[in-house]
Amino acid sequence: MVQIEELKQKVAALAEEGRARLKEVASPEDCEAARVAFLGRKGKITELVKFLPHLPPEERPEAGRLINSLKEQFQAELDRRLRELKAQEIEKKLQEEAVDVTLPGRPVALGGLHPSTQALREIYRIFLGMGFQVFESPEIETDEYNFQLLNIPPDHPARDMWSTFYLTEPGLLLRTHTSPGQIHVMRRFAPQPIRAILPGKCYRYEQVTARAEMMFHQVEGLAIGRNITMADLKGVLVEFAHQMFGEGRRFRFRASYFPFTEPSLEMDMDCIICGGRGCRVCKHTGWVEILGAGMVHPVVLRNGGYDPREFTGFAFGMGPERILMLKYNIDDIRLFFANDLRFLEQFSGGLR
Ligand code: PHE
């Protein structure tokens, strides 16, 4: 007969063994293995019930309590270890996956405005300061607006200066200059006075070279009113050029020809590169042309809805790309539209 004392020793030994085993578990899987080994169907603690039949009946209840409390004790310890391990696992994960918010970020590549856009905006800024407003007009034009209303009849030799692309639709073409916008803005506002600039893309059918593109920008300017004279034209353009190119520059006006202005002129600036001494850029004249201008031709005023006996006006046209070429000594206009980032990125910090 097994005595209860022997059972008590067994229980004490298993309690010790269980604690030792649970000290060593290192994962939830280890815990499960320990549970099976002690409390499973053939577990060491479970097997203790085999003692019961060998005990005298009066000792069996106490033996049962001993075994049960061992079971509970082991189970409680096991649960505690399992919670501990899970907490450790979470802690470890948190540390491994921690984000170091003090690390410098990866720089995001920012886009920049195209140099032509920057030049356009600078031109707007200057003319807005002198009371001009921006007026847009279409890139697809009629022959009438691009030529005839500007005093360039069909077959007039002046058309040779503005060969363009024609649409399959008869009478439509891509505008060769922003000057047709003069007629649009006059017809919109006549007989009120006008101070407007007309920016946009222009197109010309010509061999593309370092000096000529088939597409480029222009900014047209138009002022209509009573008593507007060439002195106003000169004052406005010199003010513009000083703001655009710097105070120290010198300018001159040369007689020229455009069918839609009379008299017509071209404005030159002393060459930035050589300071007027003469170099390759200014073709050794010391001067570079910056824009074309003139007093609005009476025929054009009338086509726009103004009586030339009452109104006068001036107009000018300039190319933002050309202005940047002069300002930064860029020798090839094709660079503007070739999408080469090495060129474009030089303007990402703005115009200087
Ligand atoms: N439209 C002219 C050109 O394309 C420029 C110009 C505009 C000249 C207005 C005089 C007045 O070259």
Other CB atoms closer than 10 Å to residue 109's CB: what's the count? 6
| Of the candidate ranges 39-53, 241-255, 304-318, the one whose mean pLDDT is the lowest | 39-53
pLDDT classification of 178: cutoffs 50, 70, 90: very high
Residue 113's pLDDT band, with cuts at 50, 70 and 90, is very high
Three-state DSSP state, 327: helix
Q: Does ligand 1 lie within 6 Å of residue 294's CB atom?
A: yes
**Residue 110 within any structural domain of the chain:** no
> Atom of ligand 1 at shortest distance to CA of 317?
7
| pLDDT score for 190 | 95
Can you give the residue range of the structural domain that contains 9?
A: 4-96
- Is the C-beta atom of 81 inside 6 A of ligand 1? no
Q: What is the DSSP string of 87-125?
A: HHHHHHHHHHT---TTSPPPPPPPP---HHHHHHHHHHH
Domain end among 31, 61, 96: 96
Quick: pLDDT tens for 118-176: 999 999 999 999 999 999 999 999 999 999 999 999 999 888 888 899 999 999 999 99
Same domain, 230 and 329: yes
Residues 222, 308, single domain; the answer is: yes
Say if 191 falls within a structural domain.
yes
DSSP assigned state of 212? -
Residue 334 lies in a domain: yes
pLDDT value of residue 211: 81
Judge if 145 and 13 occupy the same domain. Answer: no
Q: Whose CA is nearest to atom 4 of ligand 1?
A: 177
pLDDT above 90 for 272: no
CA of 226 to the centre of ligand 1 (A): 22
For residue 240, the CA-to-ligand 1 centroid distance in Å is 17
281 domain residue, yes or no: yes
CA of 284 to the centre of ligand 1 (A): 25
> CATH code at 160?
3.30.930.10
Check whether 1 has a pLDDT greater than 60: no
**What's the CA-to-centroid distance between 40 and ligand 1, angstroms?**
99
198 pLDDT above the threshold of 60:
yes
In a domain, 242, yes or no: yes
- My answer on whether 180 and 71 are in the same domain is no
Q: How far is CA 126 from CA 84, 87, 100, in A?
A: 73, 68, 48
**Helices within the chain (DSSP H only):** 4-24, 28-39, 60-96, 115-128, 143-146, 180-189, 230-245, 298-304, 320-328, 341-344
237 plus 321 within the same structural domain = yes
Nearest CA residue ID for atom 6, ligand 1: 317
In a domain, 192, yes or no: yes
Same domain (yes/no): 157, 294:
yes
In terms of domains, do 146 and 55 share one? no
| Structure tokens, 105 | 């970020």
Q: Name the domain count of the chain.
A: 2
Yes or no: say if 22 and 77 are a contact pair by the CB < 8 Å rule. yes
Q: Give pLDDT tens digits for 320-351.
A: 999 999 999 898 999 999 999 999 999 988 88
Same domain, 20 and 163: no
